[in-house]
Amino acid sequence: MDIAIIGANGSTGKHMASRILLEKLLLPTDRLQLVGRSTGASASALYGFRQDLKDAFAEHCPIIDIALRPEEIVADIILMTAGSTLHPHAHKDKPPPSRDELASYNRAIAIPYAEAIAKYGYGHEIVIVVTNPVELIVQVFADHYDRRRVIGMGAYQDSLRFRREVARSINVSREAVRAMVLGEHGDGIVPLWSSVTVQGFSESETARAIRQVRSSTSSVQFPETLQRLRDEIIQIAQSGHMNEAFQRFDTLPPDVRVMVGPFLTLFSGAKTDIATANATVDLVKSILSGKDTVIAAQVVLDGEFLSVSGPVGAPVVISPKGWDGVYPIPLSDGEQQLFFKAVQSIQRKLLLWNA
């Protein structure tokens, strides 16, 4: 088994590499490929990073290979994490890049990799997309390669966050909560309250617990509530009271915290790279386990779920072959409306970004 990390010199890529070695996912005869660009800092820094990894994990280190051109990528699982990210404090004198600028920049980075994997790959690679906007980059890879082997991380990570936040609100462990977030990895997230189950809770106990903690009585009200509470948090953070902003954040409903949490983390000057890397490696472990597992992930649909076509966060069954099909999870009327709204939002943005 070989794993390639595109964008290995970035902070998320480095955390992924470190966690892969820490968890001994690869045998000493397997290969971890660190992929960077021949121009730019990664061309030299990756050699130093490799040395650091060898120093840290000498006893059980796999072969660590460095590739500086897209055509050199050879692996069974390819983690796409190259690209820029939204960061409000990246340049203090300049405004942060808009989401449209980010999309255009990251799309241009992704295309040569998608083309190379299609041309030089052997057709059995699984591509896990971490780079945002995840729907756009999933579309880029699926345009060139087998769409069933392209999986976007957004909804998977949102679902992990949702489970954690629900668990926190009702005082149980995350492992005890099953829940999914579908739709867009961004403002168009669709938290599926109807999918929430809590180990040890009866249906009526779960329903009562949900009523007490969710942000709004129906899913269609969620975007408005999210917007209102996020604006409130931003105002506190912008006034320089970061501690107060996080204290207020802790009192928000769990579905709102799913969205506001990463935003506030970035706003504070920190990154979400550790959580993203951990979630990605968890997904890799699920794939390597050989078991069919149901997860929420961004995939390019062709009518398999609610007759939707295009990239969107959907419930899928993953296996060592990629995603085998969708899992027919029932949605409430409100969730379905929210999901279709997210699909439309994604398609509008893709039209703009692909123009």
Partner 1 sequence: MECIANDENLPLQTIVLTVEDEPGTLFLISSVFSNRGISMKSIQMHEDNLPMNSVHLSRLTIRFRGEDSRKKIISRLLSRLDCVIESR
Q: How far is the CB of 154 from partner 1 (least distance, A)?
A: 29
Instruction: Decide if 123 contacts 150 (C-beta within 8 A).
Output: no
The residue (of 123 and 330) whose beta carbon lies closer to partner 1 is 123
Complex with partner 1: residue 70 or 186, whichever CB lies closer? 70
Q: Indicate the pairing of strand 77-80 with strand 126-129.
A: parallel
**For partner 1, which is the closer residue by CB, 4 or 153?**
4
3-state helix, strand, coil in the chain (%, to 5): 50, 20, 30
Measured from the CB of residue 263, what is the shortest distance to partner 1 in angstroms? 40
Burial class (CB in 10 A: 0-12, 13-18, 19+), 58: exposed
The tokens describing 154, both together, are: 């957004």
Q: In the chain, how many H helices and how many E strands?
A: 11, 11
The single-letter DSSP state of residue 130 is -
Phi, psi of 341 (to 5 degrees): -65, -40
Active-site position among 60, 91, 185, 241: 185
Q: How far is the CB of 30 from partner 1 (least distance, A)?
A: 7
Alpha carbons 339 and 191: distance in angstroms, whole number: 9
Binding site for partner 1 (CB under 8 A): 1-2, 27, 29-31, 33, 63, 65, 67, 72, 74, 120, 122-124
For 15-57, strand residue ranges (E) read 31-35
Residue with smaller CB distance to partner 1, 6 or 295: 6
Can you list the positions of beta strands (E) in 24-145? 31-35, 63-67, 77-80, 126-129
Is 185 annotated as catalytic? yes
Residues annotated as binding site? Answer: 7-13, 106, 130-132
Rounded-to-integer distance, Cα 152 and Cα 130, Å: 6
- Give me the least distance between CB of 32 and partner 1, in Å please: 11
**Residue in 320, 354, 272, 295 with CA at minimum distance from that of residue 126:** 320
Distance CA 11, CA 277 (A): 9
Closest CA relative to residue 320, chosen from 283, 291, 278, 299: 291
Smallest gap from residue 292 Cβ to partner 1 (A)? 18
Mark the binding-site residues for NAD(+), compressed into ranges: 7-13, 106, 130-132
Contact 182, 314 (CB under 8 A): yes
Least Å from the CB of residue 29 to partner 1: 4
Nearer Cβ to partner 1 (31/168): 31
N-terminal to C-terminal alpha carbon distance within the chain? 38
Question: Which residues does the annotation mark as catalytic?
Answer: 185
